[in-house]
Chain A
Amino acid sequence: MDEKELLIFQKGNNSTHTNFIPKLDIEIEKLENIIPRNLLRDDIPIPDVSEVEIVRHYIKLSRMNYGVDSGIYPLGSCTMKYNPKINEYVARLAEFSQIHPLQEENEGTLQLINAISVLLAEITGMDGFTLQPAAGAHGELVGLLIIKKYFEMKGVKKNKIIVPDSAHGTNPASAKMAGFSIIELQSNQNGEVPLDHLEFAMQQGDVAGIMLTNPNTLGVFDREILKITKIVHKHGGLCYYDGANLNPMLGICRPRDMGFDIVHLNLHKTFSTPHGGGGPGSGPVGVIKELIPFLPTPCIITTDEGLVCTQDRDHSIGRIKAFWGNFGIIVRAYVYILSLGAEGLKRVGQIAVLNANYLRIQLQKKYYLPYDRICKHEFVLTDKNLPNEVTTEDIAKRILDYGYYAPTIYFPLIVNGAMMVEPTETESKKSLDNFIEAMYKIYDEAFNEPDRLKSAPLNTPVGRLDAVNAARNPILKE
């Protein structure tokens, strides 16, 4: 990767082009006659930089960054699979990218949203979908607001949500945003939900439901899943499926069949839309028939005149975003699902699990694997048994030196020094083997050259950064 680069603000070469603005071809008035002087601004402290300088600057920055197209990206629970280029091409077609959300001639967009809803319903087993949520956490909020509304309509007071301690951090945060308080359930020694504790919590009568991801963040499938959802239902609760880990279940097993009532998906994980360095994503929410009336507005309904969108829905939780969801992302996911079809999606599930287990078996030879069993899409290693006080962070930083991205580290919180590895189905065996080889070398270095690990990374544009100082004295702009 490249060396450091100055900030764009330090590049100002005072070129005052207006290349991107049409020539003004109408009669103008004095600005102050249109808008009073006291409402106008003086300076704009943004430099004028020439196009060539801008392009060089950002191309240089791009070379100081790592993407899936650069190589393996084994970031656990993030499903960093290859992003097919056709998706990008289609999303940029004027017939999709130049459509205004309030224009009338939009039959194509409504049909597309409707069509992907049907496909997602089949994939998850759910009855209805909203494509409105802009990200996974946004979907979680929608799901929880649906639960809140459902009990509000029933006139039942249930204001608690069960979240296992292995859950993604967004789960408790989303539950709180929907006004719930959280009961954290400690996982058992297998990393699974303890049925007796669940039963006890549900018996209290004020629990609205459970949020669960399955396979969970340890990468293992909760074998008691049917009992779990049954217990929750028995006590009048609803079951929420966090779809962040849906990838290994595609074409294998559906959240609905596990007993879930609500599910959110991450189109930017499971359905190949690029993560964009932190979005835009898309977090559709699917529900069982009984909960369809609670979905957010607007929604698309079929009438004699074709598809129309409607705001009217008695029990809806209301609007959760202006206009429609992240449509440009939805287009990409639709292209992906059409490309793969039934067989392709099943192959995703199968190969994602094959790749993860192959990697697990090979890395287990050197690294400690706390939950030693067949995994699904990912697995968790730790720094236990490493010599010379070498830590998970040291390993992660050293991986960067070998030219790869690191696993998710120190998560899930229930495992000390966790390294969460998810290869996805799109990595070749050669790519996996190269990663394994690097991990073996790093393991040897832990014994022979621990200082090198502790001072890693050495081959990146900057060395290990001081996070403590950054939080203590925040510098957030220049």
Chain B
Amino acid sequence: MRDKQIEDLKDYKYGFSTDIESFKAPKGLNEEVIRFISNIKKEPDWLLQWRLKAFERLKVLKEPDWQKAKYPKIDYQDLYYYSAPKSFKEKPKNLEDLDPKLLETYKKLGIPLQEQKRLNGIAVDAVFDSVSVATTFKDTLTEKGIIFCSISEAIQKHPDLVKKYLGSVIPITDHFFATLNSAVFTDGSFVYIPPNVKCPMELSTYFRINASDTGQFERTLIIADKGSYVSYLEGCTAPMRDENQLHAANVELIALDDAEIKYSTVQNWYPGDKDGKGGIYNFVTKRGLCKGKNSKISWTQVETGSAITWKYPSCILKGDNSIGEFYSIAITNNHQKADTGTKMIHLGKNTKSKIISKGISAGKSDMTYRGLVDISKNASNSTNYTQCDSLLMGNKCGAHTVPYIKNKNSNSNIAHEATTSKISEDQLHYCQQRGLNQEEAVGLIVNGFCKEVLQQLPMEFAVEAQKLVGISLEGSVG
């Protein structure tokens, strides 16, 4: 049974591409393209000005190169910055109006919108290339006053909220990729949870890059007002292509007093083939701001895809007593490279943060945990606990740990632990003795190794993630 499953999944199963005519902006990165995007999305003037300001800033910024994973230079003039399925020029009103081919794609992806709606009770905001396809479960959410829509829609319908919070965590003056996103972002999700509302279901987005030569620049903005709670899921896939594609998203989270945001990602972008050809460059900026007192932001990520993953979901703990958490599993195989970790910036008093990172590298891949814990002068009584463990399979891969620890407050404590090892022979032997074959034994041990993080995922995702962990390591033992 398991063998069959593996056989099915062995090759990247999301590697089909959908034949839908798409509507693109002219190639290249310039003021015209930005005006084009802004115009086609019927954006207000302030946003166009905001984009242009970001573009001005971008011109003076240099692409960073300090990361471990090097990649050939990206020609930013050779990309399409906007691509939408043609039938989307007039946005469909409900699911029945959707292009059947599109629905088919989602079915292959395993998120039949309609079934999901019925069975899972998850509200999905699917992003197909750059335009949000349809948002399900809207009515249930509207009742509670929760806004869950595409960011383009939010710009039209809730401009005050967007204007107030957009760029408040990742300013347009930030680093290169974040600023690039600010200039050309096309779509993404927007969530607003009103005060004292607990969102009754998990909110979810599914990203998919379809058209070739396009960069996907989505922008997600989640605001949890006082005393509210939301759990948000994000999943990613892309078709198989020989060339590399860029994905530079920005995700901003804002938690006000007593609010909590839980953000989970299962990232399974196309990792390139066995020789390291093709695959997604996943250069994403994710940042959460615990703005209010007693607020909490928790990131959970399972990173198994992408040719290069380069991201550091961070928490700025500004409010007193706020909490930041980061749970991560990163798995690299073949020629994949990952340089990921987190930043915990403690500004308020009594702030707490916890980092659990599990890295597994196999094949010829390279895995780096890079993190920053910074406790500032005023953040008294703050604590941080960090644990990062790496597992190596074979001697052609690498596992690295690069934590930066800054403690400027004598009442605060920081503890950091890291270990690197291989799967112990004894454990393998024990499992095999009890009848598991070598691959099953490795799968079991790896799942145990990751358990601390997998537990943090919502149920529906945990199952998928557990499967992914198994698949990603396929063929790496023996």
Decide whether A and B assemble into one complex. no
Question: CB within 8 Å of B: which residues of A?
Answer: none
